[in-house]
Structure formats: C-alpha cells, structure tokens
Amino acid sequence: MQRLTGRTALITGAGSGIGQATVKRFLQEGARVVAVDVSTAGLQETRLQAQQAGIDARLTLLEVDIAQEAAVREQIGAAIAATGELDILVNAAGILRASHTHLTTLEFWNTLLAVNLTGTFLVTRTALPALLASGRGVVVNFSSTSASFAHPYMAAYAASKGGIQAFTHAIAGEYARQGLRALAVAPGSIASGMTRDPGLPADADMSLFAKLVPALGQGMGSPDCVAAVVALFASDDGLFITGTELRIDGGTHM
C-alpha cells in the first residue's frame, strides 16, 4: 500500500522499537520521514534497515533530546522549516523505568515525565503550526496500557502515559475545526528493548504480573503490529477517527 505518498511525517523515538518500525512502515507507504531520536547509533541502525529495504531515499535523520525545550524549538523547528511542510507527527519517543513508589525519588519521577509527557508536548507545540497549515494534519501520540490498567512498580510511567492520553483528547477538540486529527495508541505486551528490561526492583513480586499475558497465545507482539495501526491512523483510512485511543495488546487487558 502507498497510502502516505506525498506526505511528510516527523517521527520521534525513531532509533529503536516501535518508533523504528513506524519509520520503516511510513517509508514503505510512500511518506517522506524525518526520524528523530536522542541516540546516534539508533538512528544509524534505522538508516541501515531502510537502506537494506531500498526505502531510504526519503529518510532524514535528526538527533534531538526532546526533553530539552531549546533543542526542540531550534532543531525540530528548523527541520520542519527545511521540509517546507508537515502532515503527520508521531510522538513515539519514551522511556520506561520501574521503582517501588514509596522509594521513587523526585528526580526519577521528573525524568520520566520530562521525556514522555513534556517531550510529547514540546514536539507537538513546535509542529502544530505546520500541521495546521497542511489542512490534513495528524498527530499520533503514544500512550500505554499502563494508563488504564495496573502495572506494578510503574506509577511514574503510568502517570506520564495517562497524561499523554488526556493531552491527546484536549488537542483533538481544540483543533478539530482546523482539520487536525489527534489520536493515541496504547501498546501493551509488545516486544522491544524497553519491555525486555523495564528495570524492575530486585524484590519485585512477579505474581503481580500474572494478568500481563496476551490472550491471543502468541507471546509478545511485534513492533510492526503497532506501526501498522499508526499508519492506518495517519492515512485517509483513518479520516473519520480523532480524539480517541486504541489499545494494541493482543487481548492482554480484555
């Protein structure tokens, strides 16, 4: 399918996991992609995978720490200006860390919110003028099943993702009459570096995770499963969808 031909997308978290899979899916569907990540090595791996698939001609790499306001304003702002247009923003960047809540420091809490929630806000704020100018702008934010279901030891992460979900609803309502669509995906039970090692406390009670198994019985899902939904949301196939989120977890939380 070539549902995104002629469209320009900016995708954060593009150096690994679901963000990387989304870059590849968008390139396959014909989009021009600005791939953003804090990791140089991750971005180079994204480029390598695109080259191997023969879809790297429309790929631009941009190394930015999205938690830094000045960097987002200057570097991402410049990248958007250089493309001359922006139709799609995918805020996939995020970090996952775990801790006993009663032992969680303010620094730990603030770091998670700075990257996950504030970073999403900063990038969205910078991109909104160009998205509105396109007349068909789409924002796809990354929430998580942790925003709605109990994930032990992940209170800070869950709070950041719940904030993203609320933020998505707010901007969907604010800009709908200007043609902007805003949606969120809520992945769960997806295999990635983030989920393989969430940094659980050494004394974590693993019996608390008994309900975090996909009902489909196929084990953890691939990042490609999420990337496919993001592509649908961003394309005209999702033209009548806004102000909502979709859980993608293989039935873990039915």
User: Mind listing the pLDDT tens digit of every residue in the chain (254 residues)?
Assistant: 899 999 999 999 999 999 999 999 999 999 999 999 999 999 999 999 999 999 999 999 999 999 999 999 999 999 999 999 999 999 999 999 999 999 999 999 999 999 999 999 999 999 999 999 999 999 999 999 999 998 999 999 999 999 999 999 999 999 999 999 999 999 999 988 776 777 899 999 988 887 667 878 678 899 999 999 999 999 999 999 999 999 999 998 88
Sign of CA dihedral 233, 234, 235, 239: positive
d(CA 217, CA 136): 38
Residue whose token pair is 């939380």: 253
Domain membership flag for residue 163? yes
Domain membership flag for residue 191? yes
User: Which pLDDT score, from 0 to 100, does residue 217 have?
Assistant: 64
29 within 8 A of 51, measured Cβ to Cβ = no
Domain membership flag for residue 253? no
- Domain containing residue 116: CATH number: 3.40.50.720
Backbone angles phi, psi at 13, to 5 degrees: 65, 30
Domain membership flag for residue 64? yes
Domain membership flag for residue 43? yes
User: Which pLDDT score, from 0 to 100, does residue 208 have?
Assistant: 86
d(CA 231, CA 37): 19
Domain of residue 106: give its range: 8-248
**Total tally of structural domains belonging to the chain:** 1
- Return the closest-CA partner of residue 90 out of 246, 247, 250, 233: 233
Domain membership flag for residue 1? no
Domain membership flag for residue 237? yes
Domain membership flag for residue 228? yes
pTM of the model: 0.96
Just list the catalytic residues. 157
